[in-house]
Amino acid sequence: MDPIRIAVVGVGKIARDQHLPAIAGNQAFSLAATVSPHDPGVDGVPHARTLDELIESGPAVDAVALCTPPQVRYDLAVQALKKGMHVFLEKPPGATLSEVAALSSRAERVGATLFAAWHSRFAAGVAPARAWLAERRVQSVSIVWREDVHVWHPGQAWIWEPGGLGVFDPGINALSILTHILPRPVFLTGATLEIPSNRAAPIAADIQFRDTGGAAIHMDLDWRQTGPQSWDIVVETDAGTLKLSNGGAVLTLPSGVQHSEDLEYPGLYARFASLIRTGRSDVDAAPLRLVADAFLRGHRKVVAEFHD
């Protein structure tokens, strides 16, 4: 079977650190092209400044991985779907829920695969956590997702604009895990969003959720963390405590700590290849819906200016 010819659109840090190595390591794909108005691309691989240019001049591709900021992803996805290309959407899959729904409908009409790629769901501890919780009664959940924005997102102005999500850019990773591992649906009950006076998106958030079984869920997001960083989810159950730490890479159960190799992006591309080969899509918008609910229902608190 011929490999899937894929183009990476948006050649930034995440593309170079994660997407390009994952594609190179998966025999189901061949890197056919890169697209970026600023980055020169990869040696020996055709490069275009825009997706229009790639479509007009080639080379031919079967799929695109959209690694751009979410605010511009919808139009690029529409361009690709019009040409029958399969589309991989980096997280979050769009700037709005309506965009994601429209793309899902379009992909179904044209018979192309659309994949909303939540990389944290492929962290090593997530699948076994989901399996363990399926047989337990969840009593409460605590999420602490604290990191230093200066370290992880330096100079990224788009992330502070409407649609860029602010601290929810990393926080949505926690929500992608939460909505995947809990046996019952989750909904928001209240939130406080701390927004710098010179920015449009929050730098911190305190959020309360509840699942449909009544379990309370508390989320602490903060981009002002210095020193040790925290990406932890603790679930109290009738059978003891489950903890996912280091963004889901390490799982601790009452029986002990489980370690395994962390293969988030290789897992994503294995999933994308499977979806393409079987003619299916995977467009779960639940994590983005919870973020939208926080913006819809959350109390906004103005805090000190933020400067890179």
Contact (CB, 8 A) for 57 and 34: no
**Mean pLDDT across the chain, nearest whole number?**
96
What is the percent of the chain with per-residue pLDDT over 90, rounded to a whole number? 93
User: What pLDDT, in 10s, does the model give residues 244-255?
Assistant: 999 999 999 999
243 as an active site residue: the answer is no
Q: Select which of 13, 91, 243, 301 is catalytic.
A: 91
> What pLDDT is stored for residue 167 in this prediction?
97
Closest CA to 89 of 120, 49, 112, 118: 118
> What pLDDT is stored for residue 258 in this prediction?
82
Work out the average pLDDT over 93-111.
Answer: 97
Predicted confidence band of residue 28 (pLDDT cuts 50, 70, 90): very high
- Domain spans of the chain, in order of start: 4-119+265-283, 121-260+292-303
Residue 92 CB-half CA count within 13 A = 31
Structure tokens at 122: 């492929």
| DSSP secondary structure letter of residue 148 | B
The mean-pLDDT minimum among 86-100, 149-163, 205-219, 224-238 falls in 149-163
DSSP calls for 154-178? TT-GGGGSTTS-TTHHHHHHHHHHH
Say whether the peptide bond before residue 46 is cis (omega within 30 degrees of 0): no
> What pLDDT is stored for residue 115 in this prediction?
98
Inform me whether the pLDDT recorded for 209 exceeds 80: yes
CA 258 – CA 249 distance, rounded (Å): 9
CA 150 to chain CA centroid, nearest Å: 20
Residues facing 249 on adjacent strands: none
The number of helices, as runs of H, and strands, as runs of E, in the chain is: 10, 15
- End-to-end Cα spacing for the chain: 48
Burial letters 234-268, b for 16+ CB under 10 A, else e = bbbbeeeebbbbebbbbbbbeeeeeeeebebbbbb
Predicted confidence band of residue 260 (pLDDT cuts 50, 70, 90): confident
User: What pLDDT, in 10s, does the model give residues 151-207?
Assistant: 999 889 999 999 999 999 999 999 999 999 999 999 999 999 999 999 999 999 999
Closest CA to 80 of 89, 90, 93: 89
Residues facing 152 on adjacent strands: none
Structure tokens at 183: 């046996």
4-119+265-283 and 121-260+292-303 in the same fold = no
Work out the average pLDDT over 127-132.
Answer: 96
> What pLDDT is stored for residue 262 in this prediction?
73
> What pLDDT is stored for residue 121 in this prediction?
97
Q: Which CATH architecture has domain 121-260+292-303?
A: 2-Layer Sandwich (3.30)
Residue range 4-119+265-283, CATH number: 3.40.50.720
What is the percent of the chain with per-residue pLDDT over 70, rounded to a whole number? 100
